[in-house]
Every structure is written in C-alpha cells, then in structure tokens.
Amino acid sequence: MPQTPAAYVLDTSVAIKWYLEKDEADVARAHELLEVFGRGECIIRAPQFLLLEIANALTTARKLSLSATLEALTHTRQLGIDLQPLDWATLVKGIEIAAACNATIYDSYFLALALETGSILVTADDAFLKKARGYPGVIHLRQLRLPDSVQ
C-alpha cells in the first residue's frame, strides 16, 4: 500500500531561500525540500499571503529589482504549492497562538494552518521557533528529515 506523503506548511523564511542565496543559511536544504516536493514525495502548502510576504522580503529587505521579484513570485505560483485562502477559523487560531507565545499574527497563522491541516510547520525563523516550542509539529528546516535519496 502506498505511503501518504508527508505534508508541510512552509513559512516565508524557508521559501525565501529559493530566491536568495547570499547571506542565507540552509539554502541547499531549502532546495532539497523543493526537489522532494517536485518528485511528489511530499505535500507543501502555505497561506496565499506567502506571496505577499515573499514580495515584501525581496523588495523591502533585500532590495531586489521589480523583475527579479516578479520572477520569484511567478516561479512560486508555478510550483503547485497548495496556497490556502485566508480562513476565518485559522485566523482566530493564529491570533490565539500569537497571544499565547508573543509572536506575530503572520507567523502564528502559518502554525495554525499546519495544526488545522495535520501538517508540519517548517521554518528557518529561530526566534519564532523558540516562541512556538510549546506547540507540536514545528521544526527547523535544518532538522527536517528528507528521504534518503536526497540527503
């Protein structure tokens, strides 16, 4: 019987590594995860606002050109990631998480989505990981166990 592929919610700190390599840790690991996804060996989902966060990070924090930002966003859309629309119940859960662990609503929404979909939240955000340590199913990108064919 075929095994159900692992399901991950990726936050922006992981997705951004696909487009930025300079001064980024764990870039190879982010690309390995993307390769595993491309082979159909895992499911990747994220809230639709992942696109907004990628655009913001690339243009504001990293000062990439408009064309480079649009190229990254187009690529992200074409990957086939399960981009989930904003959901009221998930937002409420995200607010509860944010209040409980003193984190941003944005970060907490990713975790709420992971919890509600039975997925594992994969992050490269050390500060959020520390705040969310009381919740199940949150893992740092570098600790993620991928199939042996990639490692």
71-121 tens-digit pLDDT = 999 999 999 999 999 999 999 999 999 999 999 999 999 999 999 999 999
pTM recorded for the entire structure = 0.92
- Reference 136, options 26, 5, 9; nearest CA is 9
CATH number of 6-143: 3.40.50.1010
Least confident of 10-19, 58-67, 123-132: 58-67
Domain edges within the chain: 6-143
Q: What is the DSSP letter of 26?
A: S
| Residues 121, 136: Cα–Cα separation, whole Å | 9
Place of tokens 């895992």: 42
Q: State the Cα–Cα distance between residues 51 and 74, nearest whole angstrom.
A: 9
Are 119 and 42 in contact by the 8 Å Cβ rule? The answer is no
Residue-level pLDDT at 2? 61
Asked if residue 40 lies in contact with residue 147, where contact means CB atoms within 8 angstroms, the answer is: no
Question: At residue 10, does pLDDT exceed 50?
Answer: yes
> What pLDDT shows up at residue 150?
42
